[in-house]
Structure 1
Amino acid sequence: MIAIGEAARQSGVSIETIRYYEREGVVPPAKRAGNGRRVYSEKAIGRLRFIKRCRDLGFSIAQGKGLLSLSEGENQNCAVVRDISTKHLTDVRAKIEELKALEGALEELTASCQTGSVSCRMLEALAR
């Protein structure tokens, strides 16, 4: 059994995140050592790594839990996983487009700033 600090190191997830995942039911509550401290199995650390990778890819906690459930089930349904990831990819592409539009608006506003001018066109545009 592995202490929470070492579990955090091995999984790449902070101690507070591990506790949060336990409260949210992402991972089952840890077993307790004789001194009352949380201890984790290799399987639990694997689950933490899996969820971390999901989060690194931008999946929500709920999506990560769903993917984890599919990965641990007897019927690993690749079609369901594909549907989840395709939806997520569509959402990511939409966010990229929103960020590109934001970038263009900021570039335009920033370009309207004139060094040494008392009146700032960007602030005026934001106030409208």
Structure 2
Amino acid sequence: MYSDTSKLLVWQRSHELVLNIYEVTKDFPKDEQFGLTSQIRRAAVSVPSNIVEGKARGSSKEYKRFLLMARGSLEETKYQLLLAKDLKYIDEKKYKEVLNLAMETGRLLAGLIKSLG
């Protein structure tokens, strides 16, 4: 199932988002290691993880439920990105770059959810 899921554009974009989040958070202050750094990484990783897990469940109803959880985690990630920008942990340019990827992921996720009815 995983190999099938990794072919989905929404999964590919969400995986790219995770890689970007790890990259931007590596320079967060050390005192955020167990705070915002950990929180935003967990939220971001949750997006592709829920896509994979939902697909592996084998039913459209379960898949949709996990996609909705992925969408929630994506929204959490977007807020935490904003917080990181406002705390000056990331600059405006990088914020917009990663946010645009998150928004593209969200559009793809919404389309997939809609297709499941």
TM-score range, shorter chain: 0.3 to 0.5
TM-score where L is the length of structure 1: 0.33
Bigger strand fraction: 1
Bigger helix fraction: 2
TM-score where L is the length of structure 2: 0.35
> Which has the greater radius of gyration?
1
